[in-house]
Amino acid sequence: MQQPKTAITIACLVLITSCTNQPASKEFNPGFKLLDTDTFHFNNFVDCNMAEAWIGDTFRIFPGKYGEDPVWSPANDLKFSSGQNADEAFSNPASAYITPGLPKNAPVGQPGLHGAIWFETVYQDTKDVSGKTLYAIYHNENYPETLPYDSITREGYIDHKWPLGLTERITPAAVCRIGVMKSVDGGWNWENRGLFIEDKQARMILKPHNTSKTFAGGVGDPSAVAVGDSIYLFYGEYGYPGVYDSATYDALKEWAGQCISVARIAIADLDQPVGKAQRWDGKSFAANWDGIGKPIAALQMPPSAGGGPASSPTGGFHWGPSVSWNEYLECWVMLMGKVEGQSWIGDELYISFNKHKDLGKGTNSQDWSAPKKLLEKPGHVLWYPSLQPMNTEEDIKSKRTSLRLGKKARLFFKYSDLGKYYSTYVVEFVKK
């Protein structure tokens, strides 16, 4: 079992240019129905959100993991599958997947790509009429071994009082970061453009407080959407909202600074992203790319309902957002998981809605409905929910992806305890 990069959502980012909202006189209360279907198996390794794009008339997905990992072993499973529609691409056997050209890991202590990556979302450059210019938003995991602390740059981690990770062995917890890669040939070859956002060493939560067997801290499991001239990144925040000190540690303070959060970067900055993004600080997008932001309060689990810090084995929180624009409801839809115990245990998936097309105006990016339970599978561990287009004339003609969908969409998620990723439901949305 692979360590979760806590939620990966790879999909072609769809540019949303207009910004109309639901009429003020109409109550915003969308609904949904789960429809049972035959089991639709995905035939390859999945440990993240599902990233995808239409390259001309070809639907292409980019699941899997790539890069160095001293705990789980190095991986070369980040591959792509193509088809004339989503069903065909998802149904391909593992032998039909193609390995793209990816940058090699840099030696320890040298600039470059360190650790392992998973593509979570793909933004397709609208200025390229061929559709071949892609920017992959990736989840990146490192350890003190792969990225040791550099006192000059303040990058990297110190192997002192480091918490344990997910495995049953005595192994270290990972730290997640989010970065950007670029392809100009439709995903056949990629170059690393650098980090989108990260949390540094001072915010890592160490022993004796971090006993959850999740992350030491960091930001990860992203889903990104394009609105106007910006990319909005929804992600999991797992670090301490300040400098961690075991003598002054406050569990309630940790909880208050964690859960699903949002940051923003100009599309024009994707080629050189380092230092350009801004996190939501509670009032606006004004916190630095490596600074302390504020989570989306509407998506936090209050302590009275079982919510708690990510470093605690009893702390509950939502994670792994997967965001899409729904053309039928005319609103944003977010799926997410729920952690209820140590090692990412949780058997429920949730859904939330946001009526504001323009996420950059005022507090629109924060205006999500209270999460509603989408489904529950008692005794199982559920990760990485995503909505996917179907093999319908409308979805194919509209070239829908997991970031832009209609009245019905196929629901995929991973049974982590079984190591399987498949779909047995279609979600039908309802206007109320």
Q: What confidence tens digit (pLDDT) does each residue in 355-389 have?
A: 999 999 999 999 999 999 999 999 999 999 999 99
Q: Residue 210 carries which DSSP code?
A: -
Does the structure show a pLDDT above 60 at 107?
yes
Q: What is the rounded CA–CA span in Å between residue 356 and residue 86?
A: 28
What is the model's pTM? 0.94
Instruction: Using CA atoms of 369, 375, 377, 381 in order, give the dihedral in degrees to the nearest 10.
Output: -40
Q: Residue 16 carries which DSSP code?
A: E
Cβ-contact 267, 226 below 8 angstroms: yes
3 state SS of 261: strand
C-alpha distances in Å from residue 373, one per residue of 57, 114, 319: 36, 37, 14
Q: Residue 240 carries which DSSP code?
A: -
Give mean pLDDT, residues 215-232.
98
Minimal CA–CA distance to 368: which of 295, 426, 311, 429?
295
Confidence of residue 16 (pLDDT cuts 50, 70, 90): very low
pLDDT at residue number 98: 98
Peptide linkage before 208 cis (omega within 30 of 0):
yes
Give mean pLDDT, residues 396-421.
97
Cβ-contact 369, 392 below 8 angstroms: no
Q: What is the rounded CA–CA span in Å between residue 246 and residue 22?
A: 47
Give mean pLDDT, residues 234-247.
98
Does the structure show a pLDDT above 50 at 4?
no
Q: What confidence tens digit (pLDDT) does each residue in 315-370 have?
A: 899 999 999 999 999 999 999 999 998 999 999 999 999 999 999 999 999 999 99
Q: What is the mean pLDDT of the chain?
A: 93
pLDDT at residue number 32: 98
Asked whether the CA dihedral 53, 59, 119, 36 is positive or negative, the reply is positive
Cβ-contact 352, 371 below 8 angstroms: yes
pLDDT at residue number 26: 67
Q: What confidence tens digit (pLDDT) does each residue in 61-85 have?
A: 999 999 999 999 999 999 999 999 9
Q: Which residue is it, tokens 């093999």?
A: 391
